[in-house]
Amino acid sequence: MIDIRPFSTLGGADFGWLKAKHHFSFGHYRDPARTNWGGLRVWNDDEIAPRTGFDPHPHRDMEIITYVREGAITHRDSMGNEGRTEAGDVQIMSAGTGVVHSEYNLEDVTTRIFQIWIIPDRAGAKPNWGAKSFPKAGRDARFEVLAGGRPGDADAGALPINADAAVMAATLAKGQELRHSLAPGRAAYLVPARGSVTVNGQALNTRDGAAIRDEAEIVIAANDEAELVLVEVAA
């Protein structure tokens, strides 16, 4: 089953400094049909105006992954961490027993991010933060695992999270094809950060979402140059 969710159908909010689209219920947006997808709880498509951002606020018991599409985001937290994550790179925050953090766009241009929340496998883990550069050249026509908690993910260089899940990215040239297998009991959610593709023959445009389960294999074909982000979780 592949459920295409066009960008135009997503919930959203506009606070002036922040323009957000929500693939799942979040904030004031509520849709009982779009609460989560397996262990995937949130996928926010955020545009943050220059020199603005999220003031300090708390989280707990959630794995929060930030994929920076354009610009950069600067993170500070109550654990003493501080870092700037640029376009194409990734940061993770395991909120665990509780953490307070801020996220600011200190740049002179708009920053665009995907913010992804995954439900952890257990509550009460030790909080953690990390960031890493992932050159796009390493994901040509293949999914590179950026953050994951499955066996082998950390050994392969992914940022660690406390969930049986993985956040992956790939780039495709026009006409290229990519195949990805899904084991029984697994689900996936796919969003093109740019470009348009077909997924098992169904059209998926820039910033659309595709909720996928009960498909042994996903065949993704690029109609033009495309940048893909995929989350795989327990269904």
Strand partners, 167: 147, 231
Residue with tokens 């004031």: 28
pLDDT at residue 105, rounded to an integer: 98
Separation of alpha carbons 133 and 82, rounded Å: 15
Separation of alpha carbons 47 and 17, rounded Å: 8
Domain limits at 203? Answer: 2-234
Strand partners, 67: 90, 114
Average pLDDT over the chain, rounded to an integer: 97
- 109 pLDDT band, cuts 50/70/90, is very high
pLDDT at residue 100, rounded to an integer: 98
pLDDT tens-digit readout, 136-190: 888 999 999 999 999 999 999 999 999 999 999 999 999 999 999 999 999 999 9
> Is the whole model's pTM more than 0.85, yes or no?
yes
Mean pLDDT of the region 113-125: 97
pLDDT at residue 218, rounded to an integer: 97
pLDDT tens-digit readout, 34-49: 999 999 999 999 999 9
Domain CATH number, residue 179: 2.60.120.10
Number of domain units in the chain: 1
Separation of alpha carbons 148 and 126, rounded Å: 16
Asked if 67 and 114 touch (Cβ cutoff 8 Å), the reply is yes
Largest CA distance in the chain: 47
The percent of the chain in helix, strand and coil, each rounded to the nearest 5, is: 5, 55, 40
